[in-house]
Amino acid sequence: MTAVTSSRLSRLTIGLHWFIAIGFMALLVSGLIMENMDRGPAQFQLMNAHKSLGSLFFLVAAFRVGYRMLTGFPTELSNKPRWQASMAHGVHWVLLAATVLVPLSGIAMTLGNGFGYEVFGMTLVERGEPIVWLRDMGRAVHGAAPKVMIAVIVLHTVAAIRQQFVDGSLSRMLGR
- 16-73 tens-digit pLDDT: 999 999 999 999 999 999 989 999 999 999 999 999 999 999 999 999 999 999 988 8
Cα 92 to Cα 21, 96, 109, 156, distances in angstroms: 12, 6, 26, 8
Question: Does residue 36 belong to any structural domain of this protein?
Answer: yes
In sequence order, which residues have a C-beta less than 8 Å from that of residue 51 and are 6 or more positions away?
106, 110, 117, 118, 119
What is the per-residue pLDDT across 110-160, written as a single tens digit (0 to 9) for each?
Answer: 999 999 899 999 999 999 999 999 999 999 999 998 888 889 999 888 887
Question: Does residue 6 belong to any structural domain of this protein?
Answer: no
Question: Does residue 3 belong to any structural domain of this protein?
Answer: no
CATH number (domain holding residue 35): 1.20.950
pTM assigned to the model? 0.82
Domain that holds residue 102: 11-173
For the chain, the domain total comes to 1
CA–CA distance, 19 with 17 (Å, rounded to integer)? 6
Residue with more model confidence, 78 or 113: 113
Question: Does residue 106 belong to any structural domain of this protein?
Answer: yes
- Burial (CB < 10 A; 0-12, 13-18, 19+), residue 167, is middle
Question: Does residue 79 belong to any structural domain of this protein?
Answer: yes
Is-contact 75 4, C-beta < 8 A?
A: yes
pLDDT on residue 3: 43
CA–CA distance, 169 with 176 (Å, rounded to integer)? 10
Is-contact 98 149, C-beta < 8 A?
A: yes
Question: Does residue 5 belong to any structural domain of this protein?
Answer: no
Question: Does residue 62 belong to any structural domain of this protein?
Answer: yes
CA–CA distance, 144 with 139 (Å, rounded to integer)? 8
Question: Does residue 2 belong to any structural domain of this protein?
Answer: no
Residue with more model confidence, 4 or 44: 44
